[in-house]
Structure 1
Amino acid sequence: MDGAPLPALADDAEPRVTVKSTCAYCGVGCGVLLTPDGKGGLEVRGDPDHPANRGRLCSKGSALGETVGLAHRLLAPVVNGRATGWDDALQLVADRFRETIAEHGPDAVALYVSGQLLTEDYYVANKLAKGFMGTANIDTNSRLCMASTVAGQRRAFGTDTVPQTYEDLEEADLIVLVGSNMAWCHPVLYQRVLAARAARRTKIVVVDPRRTASCDGADLRLALEPGSDVALFNRLLADLYEGGALDATFLRHTEGFDETLAQAMNDDISVTGLAEEDVQAFVRLWRDNEKVVTVFSQGVNQSSAGSDKVNAILNCHLATGRIGKPGCGPLSVTGQPNAMGGREVGGLANMLACHLDLENADHRAAVRDFWGCDRVPEAPGLKAVDMFRAVGDGRIKALWVIHTNPAVSMPDADAVREAIRGCDFVVVSDVTAATDTARLADVLLPATAWGEKSGTVTNSDRTISRQRAVLPAPGLTRPDWAQLAEVGRRMGFKNAFDYASEAEIFREYAALSGIAGRFGKDFDISGLAGLDRAGYDALPPVRWPVSATRTGGRFFADGQFYHADGKARLVPVAWRPPVAKVGPRYPFRLNTGRIRDQWHTMTRTALSPRLAAHLAEPFLEIHPEDAADLGIGLADLCVLDSPQGRAILRARITDDVLRGQVFAPMHWTGETAPAARIDAVVAPVVDPVSGQPESKASVVKVSRMQAAWYGFAVSARNVTPTGDYWARAVTKAGHRVEMAGYAAPPNWETAAREMFGLAQAEVSILEDRAAGSARLAFREAGRLVAVLFVSPGPVAVMRDYLVQMPEVPDLTLLSGRAPADRPDPGVVVCACFDVGMNTILRAIESDGLVSVDEIGKALQAGTNCGSCRPELAALLTRVQTQTEQTPVRPTSPNLTQPKEAAE
């Protein structure tokens, strides 16, 4: 294992060993240095030697050590609600899948897997499904993330190749961020972009309907209408042609230019809603800067026209020859740590391993012979949305879900939840039983978690990195590949799945890639097929391909592509609007996405108090004029209705969104805020080529929740909230909960005792029944353990002071305000260093700080990942303008309370 001992903490202390591994979050693929503390915890630092991050970590990566405890863990197999041993659990899984295939055929079973899997896990899952179960019904939550990029790149290049590398960000003269809030979603890469701007005066353009943290560093922002990206890039292509900016020599390496240009010239730029001068400024920047990198992400992919958006971008790079060169080309950034690895092993329902083609008979035969199986499916399996429709209508009768939470994350999530609930046999492999999906399983299989498992992942620029175990596997947990291989053996395929280690799986996978290389495919890591265990353990980060003829580098500058004729394809694409139509019944366009400090459905990040402190509850961004029209005020709750379902979210009134558009984060679940599962209102509309859902363009109606009461609670132990709306978050001292309901309980003391589980605790009460308000504080053995505030309107208290659970007299506590000698730190702005807004404001005012860098020197805020720097700049502006009405973007401490009470 690659590590070095650190100095002992004391003469009698054992040496602490630091292990090099990879972060568990986004597709940047940051290297981390992990040092166990000897008590089950970890110290986490960025690896200065890793090429992806060079020592930097974002707020989530920095907080990884706070997420490795065992209190939430699934530690033994569970069958029908009862703990059992591995033998019984895996035999049941093998028997039920084998019996289902025998009775109903191979397409009656399915696996739904995840970009959280390591490549070795992914490979075994794909081999088991496509090679030995005989079904292509294996798909991944990466279908929700980057399937449109895969489809677009395969159409253009002949295979799913990312041409560029992260180093291109530092060599570009112009960086265009399309549908990418890189400052929040890939903050370490965004810091490389800002460094390039400082060093090279690199220009930055942001193409996004919503103003995000990434816009603060932009030279030009194009707030186009949702879904109109194709029209914008078609206009760019047409104007570059008319301005003589195309590369006639490189175009000889392509097909389809005439048809593509004709279609581009037919598109109407007015559908973007952009001013003509802004469009012309964009074209000039492209024309006048030879080195252009276009970074695109979910705003492009998560669309019913996602594949066409990708090809519209690629068309511009191909037509100008700006591809595969230093500082020059398209760069898709993925959302999950191993989304790329899943693509490499064929984890999508329409792919074979190693970028081989499922529809190609020669490729199928080669894989069949290599695996030693009878047959490989000839047709693609069901993609995610269709897969769960088939679960719902009974075509799929046995389902295995691995490290993902489709009952929350899939569009039309209520229908997906009911489909899983009604399935004949459901297996879930995960690290916790406390997810919406795990609660529906017949069999729960406990998996090792990040920090306990070993394997490889591939990041967005094709860099393969080792993830190394640094903590012991707790309880009866097992690696995913071991679970899958054992089921394969018990189904009768012993020789094919007789693996002793993840290193053995990697060698097999690398050898198969050599066959792909002989077919002329891009993905070839056969140069690693001879690694022994020691070589595998010590493997440094390496960018594929890794073969006898080539290692790493960029693709396509030489004009050589992977279609049969060796040429790229320019693909004619035309703008088409989102499928769901805005109208009188559903007048708002809903955009969904991520926030800075949370991850997917929060099974990991929700364990960190400092990550929860930034934005502690789900919210809806709505324009001030729309809010006024609907009678929605500061801290009100909003009800969203769509043809699919309903959600309730806290109003965040901001001009970050345009009129007629609203934005909501995707993270909250039945475990953390059951009324706020935003994908319950998202339509199950997909791109016809990629099958990726349109998660950013559903339509909704918005109204004010007519709540009879609002509540805020802090507790030293877990809480069972009450109300029609509640949102729970962890704090350093326990939990905090926001609540609201249409009808108040008859007795607040009774309700509070039940909620907190404090039947015998002492209570102090201030209650005004006529006004509908109540304040209750509970103590056990003289120690404050819980407090509840109830009001007929949004509760106005100092939340960020109260969550510290101070030991103060009840009557002072129940005022909800901090005493003069204990200042309220305010909502956390910098999660890396746990610095609150009020702490920052006091430092600005008392120390005369005038820049973000000066704030960093004084408080450390903004000096790690930098994702809070736009908020720090906004706070400076607020102080400098000396007006409390200046909005603070993009965070809002006032989601749940009036402004004056927050400060």
Structure 2
Amino acid sequence: MKDTDGVRSTCPYCGVGCGVILRPDGQGGLHVTGDRDHPANKGRLCSKGLALGETVSTQGRLLSPTVNGQEASWDDAMQTVADRFSATIAEHGPDSVAFYVSGQMLTEDYYVANKLMKGFIGSANIDTNSRLCMASTVAGHRRAFGTDTVPGTYEDLEEADLVVLVGSNLAWCHPVLYQRLAAAKKQRPEMRVVVIDPRRIATCDLADLHLQLRAGTDVALFNGLLSAIYEGGCIDKAYIANVDGFDAALAAASIDRMDETGLDRRDIQTFFNLFLRTDRTVTVFSQGVNQSSAGSDKVNAILNCHLATGRIGLLGMGPFSVTGQPNAMGGREVGGLANMLACHLDIENPNHRQAVRGFWESPGIADHAGLKAVDMFRAVGKGEIKALWVIHTNPAVTMPDADAVRAAIAGCDFTVVSDITGATDTARLAHVLLPAAAWGEKDGTVTNSDRTISRQRAALPPPGQARPDWAILAEVGRRMGWHGAFDYETPAEIFREYAALSHIAGHFDRDFDISGLSDISDHEYADFAPTRWPVTKDRQGGRFFADGKFFTPNGKAQMLALQYRPPAAKTGPRFPFRLNTGRVRDQWHTMTRTALSPRLSAHLAEPFLEIHPDDAARTGLGPASLVQVTSPVGSAILRTLITDRVRPGEVFAPMHWTSDTAPSARIDMVVPDAVDPVSGQPESKAAVVALAPYHAGWYGFAVSSQPMTPETDYWAMARTPGGWRAELATFTTPQDWEGYARTLFGLPDATVQMVQDAARGMARLAFHNGDRLLAALFVAREPVAVMRDYLVTLPGTDAPSVLTGQSPADMPDPGPIVCSCFGIGMNTILTAIETDALTTVDQIGIALQAGTNCGSCRPELAALLARGQVQEAAE
């Protein structure tokens, strides 16, 4: 559907599902704005969404198929894939092959992949990287409700009187929902927000109460809440007539385990009192709950409290899972997980299987659950899976025990990777690489966290020979002998078939039914507006479960008797710290898209480890020093960030960096593959680690107009407006700094300026072409002290004083970027606070625009204000 001068589509990042309007710039790029008519964002965008236009470059794109490292035709590549999968199945059976897919796929892509694997190959060995994000929620929903149903809608966050955020950093991970919540709280100051998280996160800026609980103790806290609900007389007796398991759940719940949380009893009581006296309560939860060896129990502990109070399915009430990927929900609906069939049907149910098989007219259908992600790659490593197809994801970086996964993929008999680039850790291991269409080039649908189906539309042509994923998968299906079943010509045709299949789910009294769209025309599909499911002749959208009717065999919800279980690994003298992992504000997954944007890379350009000041002192770690992080399965090197945002004994590291951006900082090398026994989701937030200072022989900072080729133990590289920046460190000091720098920058003939003090271990080199700076390197025995945010602007300019490492007096250093939307640096903000006597975040916005768009930087602006006030008081 076209706007007056643009294409309406959906953002490819988190599960908020924001609408965007895309306007091609005529040079292969896009101008991106928020869609004011989309119900998820109403025109708002976060920093990542605003920068989408900077990420659609065809530079680095995979433009043609390759087979065994050689360029090949589509015909040869497709026949190779079909033949190898067919031969493997014939010799070793259907379970010897597997697909590992992604929430970056559109629903139509997911549908074809699921149909091919489960309905025609006859194996359920198809799993998705959503297993790493949301599988525990799926398991919790299914245990409590009978289906993977999100009961509420985004509007509930705005209508609630109490919003509880558990393991959910909305400000950074779902910024537009954070904006909606912040706007609602500003309009209704009586609204209360509670944040439950082991870290003091950016979202705490909005919180009336932060419960900084010990990692992994959510079940203990919510069991205590359930007990308090009963003792406080807040059980909804009429509602729990529709619930089984209440007595057992209550008997298992105990307030006696509160000490496990590490929280002050007064704060716990404050939270309990708020929950007990506030009917309109929404509990939002995300990866901090899911990514745990007890993740499913954490989800059910939250659901227990809402079921016991009847606070579910009504305006401003309910548990609310927010997803991490743009189509994580669509993948769950279409059966992208190894233990589900399409349309929320159960693979274990023979009636469901037979109905789907009949609809597909398939020769056979998988009759048991397939391998979940961690078990899948274990099976690859053991040689049990002999043919693997990875689509739009990078498991060699993102899976726990990532080096073991990398080795497993490298040893697989036959690996296919479909992606937009061949330059990922996983793609480099493939026998066949298939160029796939990217966001902005694809047509189809996605489903966001509140069940809203939106169209993703193409605004640019796919470069080179890139093809949509559904077309690639369907072609392989045809070549494997199932021509009629995969004879699709358009995504609209696939969507109609999918909608028709959902009628079977409705017949089996499942929640997911969009059969009202099964006769959608091509024109209607092209113009399809955001629509919340279900969509039937009798119903569209709305909430679930207020009527006490569920999708379990007896129609009742199930409350579970739960016991707090600590994380799988125990801390001890050898590994005394607990490692939490997560996202940063302006990056996404392994940065194959966001790292293309210089402004997104400017906020936090280097991987880091947050550590409490007391722990840093005990470990001998100073500010900005390097730290070696070691676990029972691996090791990483990161930059130290000393902060009281984390609890003593707990540390935090982001998960985005790869072999292309910071190979020593791939944090999933350190995370073991412990999983939740119900959901199969890895425990990514509770590994045990040891910390030690990394004493390098030298440290360096470099800027260049071209990518660099570091050969050091530690390096981290990021894009800048004029090229690239890199942090460097290693043990061995080169004998010839000029020779080292020329190799680093690939500049054998450029003119060089050099200042060196061998006694102090200092060297500074700048390379020019005429008056134009090409690159510069700054070296010292300690972390280099230069004005980095000024230096990154110099490549490509006349920079005669670059070797000072400082900005001229008439050109103030803006400092590290705080507001990515408008490129406003810390020093600029601090100067404005001082010179203009600014006292509020809103005043900073009026003066500088900072914080006036996506709002994700507002907590940091508040911190800068507080710093200025502290300095003023000290003076």
Common fold by TM > 0.5: yes
Give the corresponding residue for 1:150: 138
Equivalent residue for 1:250, pick from 223, 239, 256: 239
Give the corresponding residue for 2:102: 114
Give the corresponding residue for 1:237: 226
Structure 2 CA distance for partners of 1:709 and 1:885, relative to 1, 3 Å:
farther
Paired with 2:796 and 2:212, the residues of 1 have a C-alpha distance of: 49
Give the corresponding residue for 1:437: 426
Structure 2 CA distance for partners of 1:782 and 1:809, relative to 1, 3 Å:
closer
Paired with 1:810 and 1:565, the residues of 2 have a C-alpha distance of: 75
Q: Tell me by how many angstroms 1:2 deviates.
A: 2.8
Structure 1 counterpart of 2:851, one-letter code: G
3-state secondary structure, aligned to 1:877: helix
Residue by residue, what CA displacement relative to the aligned partner does 1:186-217 show, whole Å, maximum 9, x if unpaired? 01001111112122221000000111001111
Residue by residue, what CA displacement relative to the aligned partner does 1:47-80 show, whole Å, maximum 9, x if unpaired? 1110000100000000000000011111110111
Give the corresponding residue for 1:11: none
Paired with 2:874 and 2:738, the residues of 1 have a C-alpha distance of: 38
Paired with 1:758 and 1:51, the residues of 2 have a C-alpha distance of: 52
Paired with 2:707 and 2:797, the residues of 1 have a C-alpha distance of: 22
Give the corresponding residue for 1:753: 742
Equivalent residue for 1:33, pick from 8, 11, 21: 21
Q: Tell me by how many angstroms 1:782 deviates.
A: 2.9
Structure 2 counterpart of 1:629, one-letter code: R
**CA contact 1:829–1:837 (8 Å) conserved in 2:** yes
3-state secondary structure, aligned to 2:563: coil
Give the corresponding residue for 2:57: 69
Pair 1:195 & 2:183 matched:
yes
Structure 2 CA distance for partners of 1:718 and 1:370, relative to 1, 3 Å:
same
Paired with 2:532 and 2:19, the residues of 1 have a C-alpha distance of: 14
Give the corresponding residue for 1:12: none
Pair 1:585 & 2:601 matched:
no
Give the corresponding residue for 1:216: 205
Paired with 2:357 and 2:664, the residues of 1 have a C-alpha distance of: 47
Equivalent residue for 1:597, pick from 586, 593, 597: 586
Unaligned runs of 5+ in 1: 6-17, 887-903
Percent of paired sites with the same residue: 68
**CA contact 2:114–2:126 (8 Å) conserved in 1:** yes
Pair 1:512 & 2:496 matched:
no
Paired with 2:684 and 2:586, the residues of 1 have a C-alpha distance of: 20
Residue by residue, what CA displacement relative to the aligned partner does 1:239-283 show, whole Å, maximum 9, x if unpaired? 110110010000000100110000003751111111111111111
Q: Tell me by how many angstroms 1:131 deviates.
A: 0.6
Give the corresponding residue for 1:898: none
Paired with 1:415 and 1:338, the residues of 2 have a C-alpha distance of: 28
Structure 1 counterpart of 2:635, one-letter code: R
Residue by residue, what CA displacement relative to the aligned partner does 1:109-148 show, whole Å, maximum 9, x if unpaired? 0000000000000000000100111110000000000000
Q: Tell me by how many angstroms 1:810 deviates.
A: 6.2
Give the corresponding residue for 2:118: 130
Q: Tell me by how many angstroms 1:884 deviates.
A: 11
Give the corresponding residue for 1:4: 4
Equivalent residue for 1:855, pick from 844, 852, 875: 844
Give the corresponding residue for 1:14: none
Paired with 1:198 and 1:703, the residues of 2 have a C-alpha distance of: 45
Paired with 2:378 and 2:872, the residues of 1 have a C-alpha distance of: 53
Paired with 1:453 and 1:885, the residues of 2 have a C-alpha distance of: 57
**CA contact 1:225–1:273 (8 Å) conserved in 2:** yes
Count of residues in Structure 1 that have an aligned counterpart in Structure 2? 874
Paired with 2:836 and 2:796, the residues of 1 have a C-alpha distance of: 30
3-state secondary structure, aligned to 1:721: coil
Paired with 2:872 and 2:374, the residues of 1 have a C-alpha distance of: 49
Pair 1:397 & 2:386 matched:
yes
3-state secondary structure, aligned to 1:882: helix
Q: Tell me by how many angstroms 1:809 deviates.
A: 7.0
Equivalent residue for 2:518, pick from 524, 529, 536: 529
Paired with 2:701 and 2:267, the residues of 1 have a C-alpha distance of: 46
Paired with 2:425 and 2:797, the residues of 1 have a C-alpha distance of: 38
Paired with 1:778 and 1:83, the residues of 2 have a C-alpha distance of: 37
Q: Tell me by how many angstroms 1:781 deviates.
A: 3.2
Structure 2 counterpart of 1:387, one-letter code: M
Which residues of 2 match residues 330-369 of structure 1 at below 5 A? Answer: 330-369=319-358
Equivalent residue for 1:555, pick from 527, 544, 551: 544
Pair 1:83 & 2:53 matched:
no
Residue by residue, what CA displacement relative to the aligned partner does 1:521-540 show, whole Å, maximum 9, x if unpaired? 00000111111111001000
Structure 2 counterpart of 1:4, one-letter code: T
Which residues of 2 match residues 169-318 of structure 1 at below 5 A? Answer: 169-200=157-188, 201-265=190-254, 268-318=257-307
Which residues of 2 match residues 298-697 of structure 1 at below 5 A? Answer: 298-697=287-686
Which residues of 2 match residues 702-851 of structure 1 at below 5 A? Answer: 702-805=691-794, 812-851=801-840
Paired with 2:509 and 2:368, the residues of 1 have a C-alpha distance of: 22
Structure 2 CA distance for partners of 1:84 and 1:806, relative to 1, 3 Å:
closer
**CA contact 2:569–2:688 (8 Å) conserved in 1:** yes
**CA contact 1:267–1:574 (8 Å) conserved in 2:** no
**CA contact 2:227–2:255 (8 Å) conserved in 1:** no
Q: Tell me by how many angstroms 1:3 deviates.
A: 2.6
Structure 1 counterpart of 2:627, one-letter code: C
**CA contact 2:774–2:796 (8 Å) conserved in 1:** no
3-state secondary structure, aligned to 2:777: strand
Give the corresponding residue for 1:901: none
Paired with 2:421 and 2:708, the residues of 1 have a C-alpha distance of: 19
Residue by residue, what CA displacement relative to the aligned partner does 1:804-835 show, whole Å, maximum 9, x if unpaired? 01677766210100001111111110011111
3-state secondary structure, aligned to 2:238: helix
**CA contact 1:777–1:810 (8 Å) conserved in 2:** no
Paired with 1:183 and 1:3, the residues of 2 have a C-alpha distance of: 29
Structure 2 CA distance for partners of 1:208 and 1:486, relative to 1, 3 Å:
same
Paired with 1:745 and 1:115, the residues of 2 have a C-alpha distance of: 45
Paired with 1:751 and 1:78, the residues of 2 have a C-alpha distance of: 34
Residue by residue, what CA displacement relative to the aligned partner does 1:346-378 show, whole Å, maximum 9, x if unpaired? 000000000000000000000101111121111
Paired with 1:810 and 1:513, the residues of 2 have a C-alpha distance of: 64
**CA contact 2:83–2:480 (8 Å) conserved in 1:** yes
Paired with 1:157 and 1:683, the residues of 2 have a C-alpha distance of: 31
Structure 1 counterpart of 2:615, one-letter code: D
3-state secondary structure, aligned to 1:252: helix
**CA contact 2:771–2:798 (8 Å) conserved in 1:** no
3-state secondary structure, aligned to 1:814: helix
Paired with 1:266 and 1:243, the residues of 2 have a C-alpha distance of: 13
**CA contact 2:704–2:795 (8 Å) conserved in 1:** no
3-state secondary structure, aligned to 2:789: helix
Paired with 1:480 and 1:364, the residues of 2 have a C-alpha distance of: 25
Residue by residue, what CA displacement relative to the aligned partner does 1:476-520 show, whole Å, maximum 9, x if unpaired? 000000000000000001000000000000000000001111111
Q: Tell me by how many angstroms 1:81 deviates.
A: 1.0
3-state secondary structure, aligned to 1:135: coil
Structure 2 CA distance for partners of 1:885 and 1:677, relative to 1, 3 Å:
farther
Give the corresponding residue for 2:88: 100
**CA contact 1:2–1:537 (8 Å) conserved in 2:** no
